[in-house]
Structure 1
Amino acid sequence: MGMTVGMVFLLWSMNVFMKAVGLANSSCSGVAFCGNVTIPYPFGIEPGCYIDDWFAIGCNHTLGSPKPFLRRLDLEVLDISLEGTLRVNYPMSWWCPMNETKNATRSAENVSLASSPFYFSKSRNIFIAMGCGNLALFRSSVGTIAGCMSVCDVKDTIPTNSSSCNGIDCCKSTIPSDLDVFTADITGKYGNFTGAKDCNYGSLVDQKWFEENLTNHFEVKTMSQVPVVLNWEINESLSSLVMKSKSSYSTCQLANGSSSLLGNMSATFTCTCDFGFEGNPYLVNGCQDIDECADPESCRFLDLQYRCVNILGGFDCLPDFDHKSRNKIIIIGISIGIGLLFLFVGGWWSYKVVKKRKDIKLKEKFFKRNGGLLLQQQLSSSDVTVEKMIKLFNSKDLEKATDNFNVNRILGQGGQGTVYKGMLIDGKIVAVKKSKVIDEGKLEEFVNEVVILSQINHRNVVKLLGCCLEIEVPLLVYEFIPNGTLSQYLHNQNEEFPATWDMRLRIATEVAGALFYLHSAASTPIYHRDIKTTNILLDDKYRAKVADFGTSRSIAIDQTHLTTTVQGTYGYLDPEYFQSSQFTEKSDVYSFGVVLVELLTGEKAISSTRTKECRSLATYFIHSMEENKLFDIIDARVMKDAKQEEIIAVANLAIMCLDLNGKKRPTMKEVTMQLEAVQTLQKTPNVQQNYEELEYVITEMHEQWDAVSTSTMSHVNSGVASSSGARPM
């Protein structure tokens, strides 16, 4: 008894909850009427009130009383059942013999149900043929599938009152399953039909109507249409729509009987109200509880002291005790209810505890898989903890900060992940980098970027604020740099903040200073290995910030180079490193030289608009200077703002950075000093060269470029530099 009361309470609570979250079509009632025919959903008349165009009903008012029609098949609807059937008026097939006045005639083809959600019901229909000496064949797309023959009445007359179809002037046959198109081939070839003048008729027909509703079967011969029963089902492609709007107390099953609506999108399904409920299963709250207690016979078979109590989906027969017994039952029920409540609260608390433990274990698993242990190990080698170097963010805080990683928050995408704009709880704007799923091959790169950035503290290097390793996809949190990349700034017009010579020179000096810091002033030397304009960001005051340290490496102070798989971006890649696989600090200098040329010319590092041998900006720059065409390729804004001696000084510096012999390139310290000298108009010996001296350097370098550029291009095109660990060049 107590358990029953508790279950009633829980089921009532669930019903209220389901009604609260249920979906309903606010513009449709779920049922319509046309004449005396009820049209339930998923069928409907008004737009938006039917599940699919096949279920659209047209109500024709031009035929006297309103009559409903299936719009796409133009068949009159007689009635619709939510059990998956509907009756329609279907055209008869007929064949009239040739006589003295006219040739033989035949009716048009039947209506095809192919590709529709309808098919002819095998259990509800039969095939009949009316006529004397009749051979009726029933054909589908695969050939003849049924048929019957009738003989002529011995008196050669049609009975005036016949209630049977037994082969005399009338024959019938069953039909196969899943039939959606047929043709009735009716000919008069048997008996004494040649002298008959009547036409022969044949069609599918509702068996119950034909056998029970007609007093004379031969009345069919006077009809142009007869009732036929169609089965209907809903295509699985509409399953998501049905599952959103169906009743809470209904079950949907595929035509093969499975309750799973996942899989073959060409499958079909129907829905029914659960046991103890009735109504429309395709509507929210469409299935309502049946009040079995409305039937006085529900508990009649038991003792008269028992009474009927209706519950969701059924009923109970409870003893009808006196007032005192009823109070005891109420007390017991309340006690059991309180006990169940405590049991529920205890179970919920246990569930939360278990879930919390599982979440902790899952976070530990992700932390280990995302390189947390490797990160701790590398940072601990510097006698610092992860917490002191970088902040470990909570995954929920970062999801909230980025609006669950909304696509509208995307700042950029690259080979290692996607960067989103976010706002922390304290109002600070940050950039959250959502890395791609880390595999063993990429794990070292990811951890490497965290370790290197945690050791860098420079105003012209993007600052790493922290990371989150406790979820499936690791996250890095950087300071937000609002004005995009140097590449965007140079190659996209910005009328409000044009790329003036002073700004270009300042940005070049800031980037050079950052690289000088990485190479010489950091606690351990760091090679960036991917310097390019897309990895240089601009803050709110258009100050340069070097970013993307995924491929960077720190080395021992006494180490001169790294031997690695070639990685980098074509156009910025040091040819010497490409050939030897040995990366030195001068390889970063070469890449910076390409950036300097971009700042001078406004051209891209690689361009298909230039000739094949000059697609590389470095090659194009060297050739142009060799031909004394330096000022022909300088950006118009630079020509307008800068002095010629300043342009020549920076061009000379770029040429030295692009020297194919790495040993002849200046260090980043020397580059920084010369750029600062140009900025302050201090003429150092290195920047006071005249144009003739510059021409000598160009000629010497061009001879080196002629020997190397062709082979480098062929190697790149043939994929020599590619490897499983290399980034696209």
Structure 2
Amino acid sequence: MAFSGKLLQPLPVLGVLIVLILVATVASIPNSTCNRMCGEVEIPYPFGTSDGCYLDSTFLITCNNTFHPPKPSLGSDLFVQDISVLDGELRVWNPVASLCKVLKKGACVERSVYSKCYADQEPISISVNYSTGNSSSFKLSNIFRISNKRNKITAVGCGVYSFIQGSVEQNGFTTGCLSLCNSNASDVVNGSCSGIGCCQTSIPKGATEFDLSVRSLSEYNTKTLGIGECAYGFIVDEKAYNFSSSDFEALKHRETVPLVLDWAVGYETCEDAKKNKDSYACKATHSYCYNSNNGPGYRCNCSDGYKGNPYLPGGPDSCQDINECISKPCAGNATCNNTDGNYKCTCLHGFEGDGRMPPGIGCRPKLESQSRIIPIALGISIGLLVLLLGSSLVYWILQKRKLIKLKEKWFQQNGGLMLQQRLPNQIGSMETKVFSTEELEKATDNYNKSRVLGQGGYGVVYKGILSDDRVVAIKKSKIGDQSQIEQFINEVIVLTQINHRNVVKLLGCCLETEVPMLVYEFITNGTLSDHLHDKSRSSLLSWDKRLKIATESAGALAYLHFEASMPIIHRDVKTANILLDENHTAKVSDFGASRLVPLDQTQLTTLVQGTLGYLDPEYFHTSHLTEKSDVYSFGVVLAELLTGKKVISLDRPESERNLATYFVSMVKDDRLAEVLDDNIQNGSHIEELKKVANVAKRCLSVKGDDRPSMKEVAVELDGLRVQGKKARKEANVNTEEREYFLHPSTHSLSIDVGVGYSSTSTIDSMGNQVLKPTDDGR
């Protein structure tokens, strides 16, 4: 049973970090006898541990002497690790929330209110709430904000995600991250929180209140955690936390992690604060004020050339002059003299200049001796120039040779020789071209950012214009796998042989780069996802067009599965990978995740890849890839065409967040009309819509064996489309006849009794019915 730990209830420690401030009307001047140490932590002004030692009550630090050594804290439980006056930061210990699954509830020790254990079928909820207001334990004013620059929202575990929901200036927001790993966590990389075993994301700036939640990826009792395994959620100083696979176990015994708070004085800007000299906190003579960049208030700092505490009006701890001469900033033939807030370099006798080290000009001989130096300097300069030009020329030649050798190395490494050997055997069936790097650099204007068409998990796609004025799409991959070169070459050859009107044509490749690049035909009208989720464009996407797109896409996938020389599983079917031309003709694209299936195999075992929301659950849990995985993803596409909704949305109620499961449940409950896109709600299409919805439901079966093949789906959709067109044409003919008899005076007396419509739909094979263009322009 999957776990679900949702952090929504108030937390008495971290739920107090942001509250309204009452600014003191007169800034305190600290007592000289104040104790500035609490245990091993220094407590600098404006903070203090006793009356007369802090700026105002919002800067009070409690020194808890029950510990040995004593510990400083904000309130009773939020212990302070260190305080920085220069950076305006305060670091505290923040609790780790953990949720562990056990066989029996009593088999796990819950260390604190942030640690929970649960068994199967037992509802559980843990909460860490960061909100404005007072906690039951202590109060904090909003001089404190959780630093959005230093801290990260972190989730550690397998098949879990952590997110926060809150508000910034009364506007709601949701953000978070997803952590996945395989069954034995062998893909986890130590030191990386990129989403495998550990994920991190940023906190929005200026957030005043939010809830942190940790949940399982599955909502339907799918086992994402084994017995005794835990998930963890916390906000942490990213510099203080380095993920390791051992954290799955080690975090069970760790109760806190460091958290950085930003602090500021009051809630006024510098301009307003300076109007009241008594309450203005920047007391040092050589200090300046700057506004807080995370919430209201301001902070102080010492002027350039000074260091110390800008909140103190005087004394050795206030802003004091820095003796820059200690760092030897002057040239060797100059002496250094320290001045108030600065320093001065004086050149020795016979020299002139500012005496400073670069970027200063240093010291040079005076003019009377320059008449002899100029010819010598000129000769040396010319010699150095010739030497520099000669060296540059030699370096350029060597670099060019090195680049040529590197291109040759990459060409061979990427299977160029293998491709050249196989190309002569393929000349009769394809037009493959091996492009040079120079051709593609020229086509993309040296990969100019303005030419970027899109970016994804497999690379960047650029718009290119070849020398023959053909417009193409050039895919530049991010990573390469040298162990898969022979398979890559096979895929290039097979994909270039695909000649289907609904599959984007692969024109060639470039092998002279570290990672091979692919060149495809350019499709002009964007993706199906763009059309469905843009209100101005979705209204133009009628049901006839949507059914046409679905039928053509299904035919293309059926072709890849059953008619290609070697079956191809796309593995990333989604609306973003279905392109549309100016006639709304569908083109299946992006074969970056595709896999060739040997003719003697029905399934492959691979590392799970795909897009969340479209991913086949059976493939996700078994890593066994079959052509039925594409069928499931296509079922999600059909649901998206019918509803116009995004496949995953945290803005929808929890039961509706996953479109696939929500759509299936609505169809089973005979409530299809409630989820249909308003743009296709038409009584004349209702039977077609129900039939397509049932096709989608079958495609979305949890077990692959219960799903139809893409060939069956394509035939069924094509049949529905043909029947619909026939019914609508007959309806139009009947309408014309009724109009004639009702208004006979407006018609000619010569009647053509042969007017009618004839449609014969026979399905001899996939090649005749599904995979070839029909006469109606599909």
TM bucket (normalised to shorter chain) is 0.3 to 0.5
TM-score of the pair, normalised by structure 2? 0.45
Structure 1 length-normalised TM: 0.48
